[in-house]
Amino acid sequence: MKMISYNTIRVENLDIFYREAGRKDKPTMLLLHGFPSASHMFRDLIPKLSDDFHLIAPDYPGFGQSEAPNRNDFSYTFKHLTEIIEQFIEKLAINQFYLYVFDYGAPIGFRIASEHPEKILGIVSQNGNIYQEGLGEKWASRKDFWENPTREKRDSYRTAFSAETIIGQYTFGTRKNTVSPDGYTLDIAYTATEEYAERQLDLIFDYQNNIKAYPEFQKYVREQAPKLLAVWGKNDPSFVPLGAEAFKKDNPNTEVALLDTGHFALETHAAVIAELIKEFF
């Protein structure tokens, strides 16, 4: 196991935090986190892969330890976050890499893969959805918000940042007493930072553009057929297992692993997921 380093780099005049581990002569794997988390969600996975991969896990602007610019100065959209991560990749001179995408990391990662297919060695999609059939029931109410946005509807999503909701995201669909409080406690602490709710509400509203981009992401998967491991917490109410199975209809180089856990599958199955990755790639 190699030591993890904790670093920052300037991208678009912002301090972007990232974790790095493993030898640089090993294949690079870029780990893209989800909501409401940051790169600390990979804290258990990174040590288990660091003998086999060079691992890099950034925090997006407005998340974790990265700089959180004011909304008046920075557009909180997934397209813009993707542009930041693309510049981050260029600054670190990463020419080719594996992608590990989870939740919010999926639209960011698949945008990068679609635009730069020559850079992608393979993909791990862990509850990283790009198919309509993978959307859980909650997305119907979000569709109403997107089509008929009002201040009242926007404010109703502030519950997404409550401690109760965040703990539920971590623990729903898991066996009792198997999820450490470390991850969700840190995520809850981040919700207290300045302007946190407003920038996250901007991203919730912008998520509609990720769904509109699903055909583009699927075209990439279909035409490039990357080696793809869809490993899913099958009890996730946000991105249901049909989203994992859907990869197989577009890509024969897909393997699906459904795990008996929830949305944050790494909280309970980091060792299992690490072994699946090493066996598959």
204-216: pLDDT as tens digits: 999 999 999 999 9
The reported pLDDT for the residue numbered 141 is: 86
Cβ-contact 36, 62 below 8 angstroms: no
The mean pLDDT of 138-144, rounded to a whole number, is 89
From 22, 26, 46, 30, select the one nearest 98 (Cα to Cα): 30
User: pLDDT-based confidence at 277, cuts 50/70/90?
Assistant: very high
Half-sphere exposure of 74 (CA within 13 A, CB side): 23
From 15, 23, 44, 10, select the one nearest 265 (Cα to Cα): 44
Q: Could you give the percent of the chain with pLDDT greater than 70?
A: 99
Whether pTM > 0.85 for this model: the answer is yes
Full 3-state SS string of 191-242 = CCCCCHHHHHHHHHHHHHHHHHCHHHHHHHHHHHCCCEEEEEECCCCCECCH
Tokens 């920052």 found at: 8
Lowest mean pLDDT among 121-130, 136-145, 172-181: 136-145
7-38: pLDDT as tens digits: 999 999 999 999 999 999 999 999 999 999 99
The reported pLDDT for the residue numbered 1 is: 54
162-190: pLDDT as tens digits: 999 999 999 999 999 999 999 999 999 99
189-202: pLDDT as tens digits: 999 999 999 999 99
Expressed as residue numbers, the domain containing 242 is 5-280
The reported pLDDT for the residue numbered 192 is: 93
Q: What is the CATH number of the domain that holds 188?
A: 3.40.50.1820
Helix H or strand E segment including 267: helix 266-280
Q: How far apart are CA 167 and CA 191, in angstroms?
A: 13
**In the predicted structure, residue 59 carries a pLDDT above the cut 70:** yes
The reported pLDDT for the residue numbered 138 is: 86
Domain count, the chain: 1
The mean pLDDT of 238-246, rounded to a whole number, is 97
The reported pLDDT for the residue numbered 133 is: 96
Q: How far apart are CA 137 and CA 126, in angstroms?
A: 19
From 93, 88, 113, 92, select the one nearest 12 (Cα to Cα): 88
CB neighbours (10 Å) of residue 118? Answer: 7
User: pLDDT-based confidence at 140, cuts 50/70/90?
Assistant: confident
CB neighbours (10 Å) of residue 270? Answer: 19
The mean pLDDT of 55-66, rounded to a whole number, is 98
Higher pLDDT pick, 173 / 141: 173
Q: Of the listed 33, 40, 54, 263, which one is catalytic? A: 263
Task: Clarify whether 263 is annotated catalytic.
Answer: yes
Beta-strand relationship, 14-21 and 54-58: antiparallel
